[in-house]
Amino acid sequence: MANTAFIGLGSNLGDKLKNCLEAIELIREIPGCDLGAKSGFYRTTPVGVEGQDWYVNGVISLRTVLPAHDLLNWLLGIEKRMGRVRKDKWDPRTIDLDILLFGQTVINHEDLTIPHPFMHLRRFVLVPMVQLAPDSIHPVLGKTMSWLLENFSDDGQTVTELEGK
């Protein structure tokens, strides 16, 4: 049975937009996955850290027959292939690939939490999610992506769409 997964993409090292586009091309090659829609890309301020360069963020949707953990392993492999080194949790990264939603599945494992535990607290996730799936329901909060964004507190998270991307 296929599920629709939403994947968050982010980069704040090197050619950030190129990194995100390259990751999408590599995701296209994952067996059992079909790329769906792609949001615009956004220049965003780092959240939760000081002194880092701005990010490029976006979201894609996939139809996949893979179990969520298998998809995660493929995404981690792409991150590694693209030069991501995981030392500290909030370090700068060439690419960050997060499973935001996986159908209406809720997973709470040591290595995987779906829905992504911070997605409703990140404007850089909600803006592209609303672009792709405004009526998609957060399976834990029971609210649409549109509702979550409309009720987001203004906390200084700047999200600006990149022109022509």
93 is annotated as an active-site residue: yes
41-50, 90-99, 121-130, range with greatest mean pLDDT: 121-130
CA torsion, ordered 26, 108, 38, 61, to nearest 10 deg: 90
96 is annotated as an active-site residue: yes
Q: Which residues contact 61 (CB under 8 A, 6 or more apart)?
A: 4, 5, 6, 7, 35, 36, 37, 38, 132, 133
135 is annotated as an active-site residue: no
Which one is the CATH code of 3-161: 3.30.2010.10, 2.130.10.30, 3.40.50.2300, 3.30.70.560? 3.30.70.560
Residue 132 has pLDDT above 70, yes or no: yes
Residue 62 has pLDDT above 80, yes or no: yes
For residue 8, the model assigns a pLDDT of: 98
The ranges assigned to domains in the chain are: 3-161
For residue 94, the model assigns a pLDDT of: 93
For the chain, give the mean pLDDT: 93
pTM more than 0.85: yes
Longest dimension (CA), the chain: 44
Please tell me the total number of residues recorded for the chain in this structure. 165
For residue 108, the model assigns a pLDDT of: 96
Which has the higher per-residue pLDDT, 50 or 82?
A: 82
Which element (helix H / strand E) includes 20? helix 16-28
84 is annotated as an active-site residue: yes
Q: How far apart are CA 41 and CA 10, in angstroms?
A: 9
